Each structure stands twice: as structure tokens, then as C-alpha cells.
Amino acid sequence: MLLAIEANCRAQSKWTFISNETLKHSIGLVACDSCVPIRNKGYRVIVHLTAEERQEIKSIDCREWMSLLNDTTSDYAANLILYSIYDKDAHLLSRRDSREIWIKYSKVDDLAFWRKKLCTKSD
């Protein structure tokens, strides 16, 4: 138990920009502008990160992501960043764009999705 708390503290101190309080984001309907005819791709999350922060998130491994997703100070922000990185359809998030509503209706499903996506070794 102490090891998990220590790992969580390390992850939080290293990724301070992944914060529910400070992460700026938007969720909107996005079109495929290279498609003919132009068509909607669906709802997507756009997170506002610096180039340095975008580079840093590439080094986050499964264990650190899961720690961020399970921490009350970073869970929603980490989820939004992952939606953005993986270009995941955010239709449900567009209707639940608050941490409280996300926790009530989608957090369990999103965590299961990210655990499978990030932590399962593919052959």
C-alpha cells in the first residue's frame, strides 16, 4: 500500500500540468477537411498544452497513466489528455463535460478502456 502511495506522489510531482484544476480543454465537433466530401469525424477533445508538455506526455507509461487516472487531483485531466492523444470519439464526454458528471456516469468505463488500451501487450 505504501509503495502505491509513493508511486502516486512521484507521478503527481512529475506531471503537475496534468491537473483537474488547471488543464484547459474544449470538446467540439470536428470535420475531416481532407475528405471529399467533407464529413464530420465526431466529437473530439482538444487540450491546450505547450509543446514541451506534449513531448513530456509521450514518456508516460501505463502505470503512471493509471496512477494519474486514479488520483482525485488529476483523473479527469488525464482522461481528457488520453482522449486527445488517441483521437477517441468524445460524444459522451460532450454531454458530460464536468468531472462530477464524468465520475458518476463514465469514469469506470473510461478507466477500463484505458487500462486495456495502455496496459495490454499486443502480439
Round to whole Å and give the CA distance between 9 and 84: 24
Is the Cβ–Cβ distance between 20 and 73 less than 8 Å? yes
What average pLDDT does this structure show over 24-29? 88
Residue 51 falls in which region: left (phi positive, over 0), alpha (psi -120 to 50) or beta:
alpha
| pLDDT at position 3 | 47
Which is higher by pLDDT, 40 or 98? 98
| pLDDT at position 35 | 64
| pTM beyond 0.85, yes or no | no
| pLDDT at position 36 | 67
What average pLDDT does this structure show over 61-71? 96
Residue 113 has pLDDT above 90, yes or no: yes
Residue 77 sits at φ, ψ, to 5 deg, of -65, -45
